[in-house]
Amino acid sequence: MLKVNNINVYYGNIQALKGVSLEVNEGEIVTLIGANGAGKSTLLKTLSGLLRPKQGTIEYLGKNLQKRAAQSIVKDGVIQVPEGRRVFSNMTVEENLDLGAYLRHDRAGIAKDKERVFELFPRLLERRKQSSGTLSGGEQQMLAMGRAIMAKPKLLLLDEPSMGLAPLMVKTIFEIIKEINATGTTILLVEQNANMALSIADRAYVIETGKVVLSGRASELQKSDEIRAAYLGGH
């Protein structure tokens, strides 16, 4: 579904991604793990069209993405939930969800997807008329994911969904990621909680200082001594 081939991305003179290649097959959850500043978020921003690679190609469903505008990438079903949630805090929960569907014109489909969001996140239903700025961090994360679902993603890019959340809420968010995937949405997940990410992913890539240094089945990487020492607290 997605094929990233040897991309180099710079911020000014600083090279953030160095020859990164990866693949995501339809129906998979693929996770990117790595330390802070390794280039994980840069990769997602590049896939979303917010940054341009200097070299290399990005193919999505057979089409080249590397020179496409961000809005046209969204239209094609590549939807990102950014790090730090970024909900519109002065708008209600429901207005945020409606905004997620702004490129769509299928009213019945939009209504059905909103019902689905409320089924996945009952708490958002309870707070649908509430201003988003008054929600807890976990509820804002639910809203950011719900808003992305309203855009009808084929490929969902999740950037650090567990960041700053209480352990119980992290567990809930990861269960919902599995549910979203089970209904047919392919997911590329960037996550610092490597253990949690590897426990739900099919495959994983490890990024260090802008390079992919390791890749494989998530279950195998979870058992690797090297990965455990570096990212799983040695347990």
Q: In the block, which residue shows the tokens 């269960």?
A: 175
pLDDT for 235 equals: 43
Pair type for strands 186-190 and 155-159: parallel
Q: For residue 59, which of 20, 17, 1, 19 has the smallest C-alpha distance?
A: 1
pLDDT for 85 equals: 66
The pTM (predicted TM-score) of the whole model is 0.90
Q: Point out the residues of the chain with pLDDT beneath 70.
A: 84-85, 232-235
Parse the chain into domains and list their residue ranges: 2-77+153-231, 87-150
189 bridge partner residues: 31, 158
2 CB-near residues (< 8 Å, 6+ apart):
22, 23, 24, 47, 58, 59, 60, 155, 186, 188
Would you say domain 2-77+153-231 falls under CATH 3.10.110.10?
no
